[in-house]
Amino acid sequence: MVFSLIIPVYNEEATLDYSLARITQSCYALLDKGISEVELILVNDGSQDRSQQILKKWVAQSVNPKLCLKVLEFSRNFGHSGAVVAGLEAARGEIVGIIDADLQDPPELLARMIEVLELEKLDVVYGQRTSRIGDGPLKRLTAWIFYRFINLLTGVDIPRDTGDFRVMRKSVVKAVVSCRERDPFIRGVVAWVGFKQRPFPYIRESRKFGESKYPLGKMLRFAIRAIVSFSSKPLMLSLYLGILGLCFSFLVAIWVLLSWLHGGTVPGWASTSIAITLSQSFVFILLGIQGLYVARIHDEALERPRYLIRSED
């Protein structure tokens, strides 16, 4: 059984030597545990530092035919999800794993994750962070809000506090790759494809070398993109507001008419008030109706498969 491990790399010169030493060590341990060959797919996501040279040095140094290293160098920085997708498309293993290059996800856990996958006949075992000792308070807070908010907005049950650290079967990899959307929210897409999945609790370590490639601004863009590609609820907002506004404007109309019948109102006030509240609600409702169609187009544009089959007898 071949195991492919995908490692996205972006400006990681400070950590690569340490990371690859620990990751290859963990992969050697897999060779004694029923894995016949390990394929490390190192995706250099357009690094501007010495990452590429370091990766090439590791390829040149590799001697064990049972652990092969493959480097994919991007022409520029395409982002973490692009790097992972490239790795998924290149992977030829029956089991495929994803791990960050900064050792925040302990590679030693891969053996146990594969064991759980095999023993329980699962399709995905995903790492779930029970603690993020390594991340600062801001990262922890934004991540906490993000995972709760995205589940509220989307129909897909995206597991909380997970990253892309996971192992999955070839069938799942094929399903994920068949979702043709650009810049996918990987952990969302893996949740969306279904199959039998289980969390694997672990403690997320701190980054020892180099710095995070996800500062606040980039994280915010990431979060917005994730929400937009998994939820059309924001598009429906104006429809709901319009319907609510319409109910409200009927109440306003009754109040205005009663005041007008009572007399003493300024000429023109009653008709103007009713016209404004009603027309505002209609505009919102019409926008919402357009939103329904935009959501439909958005659904089509994602080019996700209509269904996925897990097994056939």
The binder of 151, among Mg ion, ligand UDP, none, by C-beta within 5 to 8 A per type, is: none
Whose Cβ is closer to ligand UDP: residue 8's or residue 97's? 8
User: Total binding residues for ligand UDP by CB under 6 A?
Assistant: 16
Q: Which of 183, 293, 182, 189 is nearest to 232 (CA)?
A: 293
Rounded distance between C-alpha atoms, residue 101 and residue 23, angstroms = 9
Mask for 54-93, x = binds ligand UDP (CB under 6 A): -----------------------x-xx--x----------
Label the pairing between strands 162-169 and 95-98.
antiparallel
User: Total binding residues for Mg ion by CB under 5 A?
Assistant: 3
Length of the chain: 313
Near Mg ion in 95-154, by CB under 5 A: 100, 102, 104
Minimum gap (Å) between residue 33 Cβ and ligand UDP: 25
Whose Cβ is closer to ligand UDP: residue 187's or residue 213's? 213
Near Mg ion in 9-48, by CB under 5 A: none
- Out of 4, 5, 6, 8, which residue is the one contacting ligand UDP (CB under 6 A)? 8
Rounded distance between C-alpha atoms, residue 230 and residue 9, angstroms = 26
Residue 195 is which amino acid?
A: F
Q: Return the C-alpha torsion angle 217, 220, 225, 228, nearest 10.
A: -140
The binder of 230, among ligand UDP, Mg ion, none, by C-beta within 5 to 8 A per type, is: none
200 and 116 Cβ atoms separated by less than 8 Å: yes
Residue 54 is which amino acid?
A: I
Q: Which two three-digit tokens encode residue 148? A: 């709760």
Minimum gap (Å) between residue 7 Cβ and ligand UDP: 7
Rounded distance between C-alpha atoms, residue 230 and residue 155, angstroms = 8
Q: Which two three-digit tokens encode residue 109? A: 């856990």
Minimum gap (Å) between residue 104 Cβ and Mg ion: 4
Whose Cβ is closer to ligand UDP: residue 102's or residue 123's? 102
Mask for 211-250, x = binds ligand UDP (CB under 6 A): -xxx------------------------------------
Whose Cβ is closer to Mg ion: residue 102's or residue 123's? 102
Minimum gap (Å) between residue 143 Cβ and Mg ion: 12
The binder of 9, among ligand UDP, Mg ion, none, by C-beta within 5 to 8 A per type, is: ligand UDP
Minimum gap (Å) between residue 216 Cβ and Mg ion: 15
Sequence-ordered alpha helix ranges (H) in 154-232: 170-177, 186-193, 216-230
Provide the strand spans (E) within the chain: 2-9, 37-44, 67-73, 95-98, 124-131, 162-169, 197-203
Taking CB under 6 A as the binding criterion, the range among 9-17, 25-33, 109-117, 189-197 that sits at the site for ligand UDP is: 9-17
Burial 32-65 (b: 16+ CB within 10 A, else e): eeebebbbbbbbbbbbeeebbebbeebeeeeeee
Near Mg ion in 77-106, by CB under 5 A: 100, 102, 104
130 and 201 Cβ atoms separated by less than 8 Å: yes
107 and 22 Cβ atoms separated by less than 8 Å: yes
Q: In DSSP terms, which residues pair with 97 in a beta bridge?
A: 5, 167
Minimum gap (Å) between residue 191 Cβ and Mg ion: 21
Q: Which residues bind Mg ion (CB under 5 A)?
A: 100, 102, 104
Q: Which residues bind ligand UDP (CB under 6 A)?
A: 8-10, 12, 45, 77, 79-80, 83, 100-102, 104, 212-214
